[in-house]
Amino acid sequence: MGIDTNDTPLGLTKQGHSCVRLHKEGRTLVIDPGGFSEQEAALGADALLVTHEHADHFDELRLRAAMEDNPEAEIWTLRSVADQISGAFPGRVHVVGDGDTFEAAGFRIEVHGELHAVIHPDIPRITNIGFVVDGLVFHPGDALTVPARPVHTLLLPVHAPWNKYSEVLDYVRAVGPTQVYDIHDGLLNDNGLGLFGRMLGAGGPGTGGAAHAHLDPGERVSLAR
């Protein structure tokens, strides 16, 4: 499957940690408004996607606030999250899994992946899905899933208990995007952000040609196609 040729501009606003807001034609899609993101991160969303049940990605109060703020808003997520919130919003919470495609508030979504990355062999793995939006940008959640299609922009989990720098770099090379933006950075201070910036930039061993950038919470960019 090739990259979507739709020419409609797609805007991205970085929120805290792993949360992003995508904007197109006056509609807003929010991914992973968890406990490390801003209290208002999900407000104003027309559609919400949640990759898995961990609290830094799924916060029930933030989702409830968004769903109550916009009675037309809907959520797409996996079973483990849907079971916790679907009762409050019947008909507005949809279960999806690897290989599914759907439209949410005018955005075309593909689902890739099934399991969270291994934190430690003694910790049971949970389910995790990633989302390709409009054939352009991929949010993998807490996994280093390589989608079975090209993507221009990769949202890269740079720091977590389940990854290390060599895996992060090799993941960028495996996906082969043109542009990389950091996510999953809520536990890093300025020193850590600077280190990852150097190692994934010109001072590192090379990302296979992908440009790397860090966005501060609230910073917005337009995604090229």
pLDDT of residue 5: 43
In one-letter notation, the amino acid at residue 125 is R
Question: DSSP secondary-structure letter at 48?
Answer: E
d(CA 183, CA 133): 16
Residue 31: Cβ within 10 Å count:
30
In one-letter notation, the amino acid at residue 144 is L
pLDDT of residue 89: 96
Question: How far separated are the first and last CA of the chain, in Å rounded?
Answer: 15
d(CA 25, CA 109): 16
Return per-residue pLDDT of the chain as tens, 225 residues.
344 445 678 999 999 999 999 999 999 999 999 999 999 999 999 999 999 999 999 999 999 999 999 999 999 999 999 999 999 999 999 999 999 999 999 999 999 999 999 999 999 999 999 999 999 999 999 999 999 999 999 999 999 999 999 999 999 999 999 999 999 999 999 999 999 999 999 899 999 999 999 999 999 999 977
Structure tokens at 84: 């916790």
For the chain, what are the domain ranges?
10-217
pLDDT of residue 2: 42
pLDDT of residue 175: 98
pLDDT of residue 3: 42
Structure tokens at 159: 């720091």
Nearest-5° Cα angle at 180, 202 to 10: 140
Check: CATH 3.60.15.10 for 10-217? yes
Structure tokens at 46: 């027309």
